Amino acid sequence: GAGVSQSPRYKVAKRGQDVALRCDPISGHVSLFWYQQALGQGPEFLTYFQNEAQLDKSGLPSDRFFAERPEGSVSTLKIQRTQQEDSAVYLCASRSTGAGELFFGEGSRLTVL
């Protein structure tokens, strides 16, 4: 596609519900990153994929967070048993090789009530 596409753009969940956020990277991009941006803060790293391999998940805040990219293209970030502190914008970014500019999607805004 023309850019990184994320869905849903907005998600409201009740505390305790599971949510899944989808990222469609730019076609052919090898590297994919997930970031979490809390209100009024800069984005913080969550996890990184190279093709289908999850090479770094050190930023995932708890074992309730899980990310996958099974075919090396689309990625899904899943949050189980959502808590209010999970409310944030979740940003996905991709790039074509190990080097070069990161292209960001518009984000998925999650609100947990």
Partner 1 sequence: AQSVTQLDSHVSVSEGTPVLLRCNYSSSYSPSLFWYVQHPNKGLQLLLKYTSAATLVKGINGFEAEFKKSETSFHLTKPSAHMSDAAEYFCVVSDTWSGNTPLVFGKGTRLSVIA
What CA–CA distances, in Å, run from 58 to 2, 24, 67, 108? 30, 22, 12, 21
Provide the mask over 36-75, with x wherever binding to partner 1 is found by CB under 8 A and - wherever it is not. Answer: ----xxxxxx--x-x----xx--x----------------
Site membership for partner 1, residue 111 (CB under 8 A): no
- At position 39, the amino acid (one-letter code) is L
Query: Residue 28 has which token pair?
Result: 């052919």
Burial of 88 (0-12, 13-18, 19+ CB in 10 A): buried
Please tell me the distance from the alpha carbon of residue 80 to that of residue 56, in angstroms, as a whole number: 20
Residues 13-32 that bind partner 1 (CB under 8 A): 31
Q: With binding defined as CB under 8 A, does residue 105 bind partner 1?
A: yes
When the beta carbons of 81 and 102 are compared against partner 1, the nearer one is 102
Q: How far is the CB of 16 from partner 1 (least distance, A)?
A: 28
Question: Interface residues with partner 1 (CB under 8 A)?
Answer: 3-4, 31, 33, 35, 40-45, 48, 50, 55-56, 59, 91, 93, 97-107
